[in-house]
Amino acid sequence: MSDVEHGQDGLPPDEDTVAGATGPEHEAQEAPEGEDEYLDDEDDYEDDEEEGDGTPLAPMRCGFVALVGAPNAGKSTLLNAAVGSKVSIVSPKVQTTRSRVLGIGMHDRAQILFVDLPGIFTPKKRLERAMVAAAWSGAEEADLVAVLVDASRRVDDDTNGIIQRLKDSKRQAILILNKIDLIPYERLLELAARFNETGVFTDIFMISALTGDGLKDFLDKLAARLPEGPWLFPEDQLSDMPQRLLAAEITREKLFLQLHQELPYAVAVETEAWEEFEDGSVKISQIVYVQRPNQKAIVLGKGGSKIKSIGAAARVELEEILDRRVHVMLFVKVREDWAEKPDSYSQWGLDFNA
């Protein structure tokens, strides 16, 4: 008996959806191989550049800013807000982000390369270990580290652990007290004073990644602090994530939003086929892996209703991102050991043996 069943996003795309669009400006692209590859104008990076009125331009700056923090602190929300577009998936559940996600933000004359990372917590399973290891190596490789804290909650062991490790490695960081839309200002001042005592933080920002409050000050600071140097990516590029992976992430976000309890953690998504048609539409076929047959039944839902609704939500968002008609075909497959297969890890850029 086959363990594959499909739940197609049965809703036909609306006829008035733009067809044959040439693709969005912000199409995700592969990472550049050479730093200079995208600098179509070498003169861009010269000290004597001037504004029209003769004022010398500020130097170009570029660097990596790692976003670290406990799960659910709002790292991916901040990344999307800073880039001005949805690049990394977000959900109210912990451990949504599983691997490093690059988001490219332009601010003044700086190209800020935000590295969204999985939350840092005490890992138990292999996948969790790989996620946390990716988060720490992302932090180690970055020019600047920003630690996000959910200011609306009690300071937890995960956050204390992050601060301790930064302290031990004598690494300084920027603190971001996030979700300030949820708490009174007095509480923020208390928190800031407490974190200040740790000696780890060079700056403290209070922001709401959700509303954008305080974001500009933070970006101004980053733009001024990054090293001088040419931009590594074209100005209009938003991420380095390949489209197939982005599409799988969007579907995984819908699974996180529509499934409950432990189920989202038993799920992985892989884009299996990507077919483009002459009318400009694209058919994206994906496999949703679950670990047990009863999980498959829940993901499918009664008469396939759940998987249909997940596929429809993914389609709506992918049509917006790709700016074309999209068909999403989802197949649910039981693969007990997907979290124990090295090939899944390499696809996500995670270390299987972390």
Ligand X SMILES: Nc1nc2c(ncn2[C@@H]2O[C@H](COP(=O)(O)OP(=O)(O)OP(=O)(O)O)[C@@H](O)[C@H]2O)c(=O)[nH]1
What distance in Å separates the CA atoms of residue 323 and residue 7, rounded to the nearest whole number? 23
Told to check if 77 binds ligand X by CB under 6 A, we report yes
Told to check if 90 binds ligand X by CB under 6 A, we report yes
User: Is 210 within 8 Å of 180 (Cβ atoms)?
Assistant: no
179 binding partner (options Mg ion, ligand X, none; Cβ < 5 to 8 Å by kind):
ligand X
Burial state string for 229-257 with b = 16 or more CB within 10 A and e = fewer than 16? eebbbeeebbbbbebbbbbbbbbbbbbbb
Q: Is 75 annotated as a binding residue?
A: yes
C-alpha 60 chain-centroid distance? 25
Among 71, 214, 304, 311, the residue binding ligand X under the rule CB under 6 A is 71
User: Is 228 within 8 Å of 287 (Cβ atoms)?
Assistant: no
Minimum CB separation from ligand X for residue 159, in Å? 11
Minimum CB separation from Mg ion for residue 68, in Å? 11
C-alpha 135 chain-centroid distance? 12
Told to check if 91 binds Mg ion by CB under 5 A, we report no
Q: Is 71 annotated as a binding residue?
A: yes
Q: Is 160 annotated as a binding residue?
A: no
Q: Is 322 exposed, middle or buried (0-12, 13-18, 19+ CB in 10 A)?
A: buried
CB-wise, 105 or 119, nearer to ligand X?
119
What distance in Å separates the CA atoms of residue 269 and residue 253, rounded to the nearest whole number? 10
Q: Which of residues 172-191 bind ligand X (CB under 6 A)?
A: 178-179, 181-182
Q: Is 161 annotated as a binding residue?
A: no
Among 61, 75, 254, 296, the residue binding ligand X under the rule CB under 6 A is 75
Among 208, 239, 251, 281, the residue binding ligand X under the rule CB under 6 A is 208
CB-wise, 75 or 252, nearer to Mg ion?
75
Among 80, 91, 95, 97, the residue binding Mg ion under the rule CB under 5 A is 97
Minimum CB separation from Mg ion for residue 94, in Å? 9
CB-wise, 178 or 281, nearer to ligand X?
178
C-alpha 313 chain-centroid distance? 18
x/- letters, 66..85, toward Mg ion (CB under 5 A): ---------xx---------
Angle between helices 215-225 and 75-83 (to 10 degrees): 80
CB-wise, 133 or 334, nearer to ligand X?
133
- Could you tell me the CA-to-CA distances from 100 to 127, 133, 145, 147, 338 in Å, in that order? 14, 11, 14, 15, 19
Told to check if 159 binds ligand X by CB under 6 A, we report no
73 binding partner (options Mg ion, ligand X, none; Cβ < 5 to 8 Å by kind):
ligand X
Find all residues with CB under 8 Å of 42, minimum gap 6, and list them: 36
Told to check if 143 binds ligand X by CB under 6 A, we report no
CB-wise, 159 or 178, nearer to ligand X?
178
Nearest residue to 132 via CA among 156, 103, 99, 179? 99
Pairing of strands 101-107, 4-8: unpaired
Nearest residue to 84 via CA among 200, 185, 215? 215
CB-wise, 39 or 79, nearer to ligand X?
79
Region label for 165, one of left (φ > 0), alpha (ψ between -120 and 50) or beta (otherwise): alpha
4 binding partner (options ligand X, Mg ion, none; Cβ < 5 to 8 Å by kind):
none
Nearest residue to 5 via CA among 298, 256, 255? 298
Among 28, 65, 73, 176, the residue binding ligand X under the rule CB under 6 A is 73
Residue positions in the annotated binding site? 69-76, 178-181
Can you give the binding site for ligand X, defined by CB under 6 A?
Answer: 69, 71-77, 90-92, 94-97, 118-119, 178-179, 181-182, 208-210
Residue positions in the annotated binding site for GTP? 69-76, 178-181
Can you give the binding site for Mg ion, defined by CB under 5 A?
Answer: 75-76, 96-97
